[in-house]
Amino acid sequence: MRFLKFGGTLLVALTVHLVGVQIYPNFSVVFDVFLVALIFHALDGNLLAAMLGGLAAGILTDGVSGGLYGLFGVVDTIVGYAAAFAARRLVIQRPWSIAVLISLGAVLQQLLILVLRFLLVPLQALPSLPWAFSKVVTSGLVGFAVYVVLKQYRRRTASWRRNRTNKIRFSR
């Protein structure tokens, strides 16, 4: 069930990515939708599920980015494992902690991409620092906003479910 939920999340992320690229051509340089979906998937602390989710999100990113195929697959697998490991060790319940975790995941992703591009394709131009910084900041801010909206939605849904049950009254 969790795998299907993550698959649906990846489909939503793919839709947001494709619409974002149509609106703003540098959307994928500024913001990584798949990374945010991956970090939310890894919050339960399941290491294997986070690694497989990272692989799926990375291969999907590779497919739509047109870059070196497999690069994001490897990098997002490592980021998913690190996020799940951090979620196991830390109590992550506040919106700012989610933003920090997503930002740190984006920093790790950018560093690993930089190292792998340098090692695999030494003559290729490396990504610029301002774009990498903008990806870290925007991913953290959007993750913060998504977490707040989901928390409000869950709270209201739980309140609605509690209040919708009919009280059965027996009359004597």
Q: Is pLDDT at 74 greater than 80 in this prediction?
A: yes
Domain-by-domain residue ranges, the chain? 2-161
Give the length of the chain.
172
Give CA–CA dist 58/121, Å, rounded. Answer: 19
| Confidence band of 169 (pLDDT split at 50, 70, 90) | low
Residue in the structure block whose two tokens are 């340089």:
29
pTM for the model: 0.85
Span 8-30, pLDDT tens digits: 999 999 999 999 999 999 898 88
Backbone angles phi, psi at 8, to 5 degrees: -65, -40
Best-predicted range by mean pLDDT (16-20, 125-129, 165-169): 16-20
Name the band, by pLDDT with cuts 50, 70 and 90, for residue 170: low
Average predicted confidence (pLDDT) for the chain: 88
Whether residue 23 contacts residue 47, with contact meaning beta carbons closer than 8 Å, is answered with no
Distance CA 56, CA 42 (A): 13
